[in-house]
Amino acid sequence: MLFNPRILIAEDESGIADTLQYVLRTDGFAPVWCATAQEAIAQFVAEPPALAILDIGLPDMNGFELFKRLQALPGGAEVPMLFLTARSDEIDRVVGLELGADDYVAKPFSPRELVARVRTILRRSGRHANGAPATTPAAAPSQAPSPGLPFAVDTERMQIRYYGRLLELSRYEYGLLRLMVQRPGRVFTRDELLRLVWDESSESYDRTVDAHVKTLRAKLKAIAPDVEAIRTLRGTGYALNEELPPA
Ligand code: CA
């Protein structure tokens, strides 16, 4: 296998998540574990997975709601999703509501069976028979430079290079820039950025976003003084400039 398909796991029980990650990794997948729905949404936006496994009983949002939110995201309708359910009434809802989820697995489940199910869904969807489609960033190695852009994001080290130079970023600056680099030109409202980059729990306001974008811009300017990498859309939010001088 040339690359490891990224599998997003939204599951708050670490024991289950550990088992899932272990069997998926053993089978050549790249699992990404999120303990909350908010985190899962942020991960999904940053890099849509080949498939998502959603627990229904999540602490901040139920799996049905998360499913709908993910489906509504750009590319979300293309990503197969699998529910993990603990109760038979939840199974009834999955089947009864005909949400369009690709499958469900009832807890307790056999890890082997679950991986087999994941493989079947990916094969059936036909989009990943030989790997993810070229348009899915999941197929990109973690250090791949963004095509045509002077950024190279290393998700494993949580580092970003700009015109070949390593940026010294805070956690939030990294989160903001990574999100924007993944979707050049896409306008993110301050609300979206708060939701996707900051924790739900933290006290944050629109001005928090502005303050971090300001420091981020200063760091980008220090490397390329004449380049305006982040555009401000008055009253709306921010977007990465799609037309940057090549690296
Ligand atoms: Ca749970």
In whole angstroms, give the CA distance from residue 28 to residue 13.
Answer: 23
Residues 111 and 23: beta-carbon distance below 8 Å: yes
- How many angstroms is it from 56 CA to the middle of ligand 1? 7
Residues 70 and 41: beta-carbon distance below 8 Å: yes
pLDDT of residue 77: 84
Most confident listed range (30-44, 57-71, 124-138): 30-44
In whole angstroms, give the CA distance from residue 126 to residue 193.
Answer: 33
Tokens of 161: 């290079």
Q: What is the mean pLDDT of residues 127-132?
A: 42
Q: Write down the mean pLDDT value for the chain.
A: 82
Cα angle 118-144-213, degrees, rounded to a multiple of 5: 105
What tens digit of pLDDT does each residue of 176-226 get?
Answer: 998 898 778 888 888 778 877 876 545 666 678 888 999 999 999 999 999
pLDDT beyond 90 at 33 = yes
Backbone φ, ψ for residue 122 (5° rounding): -65, -35
Q: What is the mean pLDDT of residues 100-114?
A: 77
- How many angstroms is it from 34 CA to the middle of ligand 1? 12
- How many angstroms is it from 36 CA to the middle of ligand 1? 9
CATH 1.10.10.60 is the classification of domain 144-240: no
In whole angstroms, give the CA distance from residue 50 to residue 132.
Answer: 7
Which CATH superfamily does the domain covering 6-124 fall into? Response regulator (3.40.50.2300)
Residues 31 and 20: beta-carbon distance below 8 Å: yes
Question: pTM value?
Answer: 0.50
- How many angstroms is it from 8 CA to the middle of ligand 1? 15
Task: Tell me if 6-124 shares its fold with 144-240.
Answer: no
- Taking a 5 Å cut-off on Cβ, the residues next to ion ligand 1 are 12, 55, 57
Helix count and strand count (H, E) for the chain: 8, 11
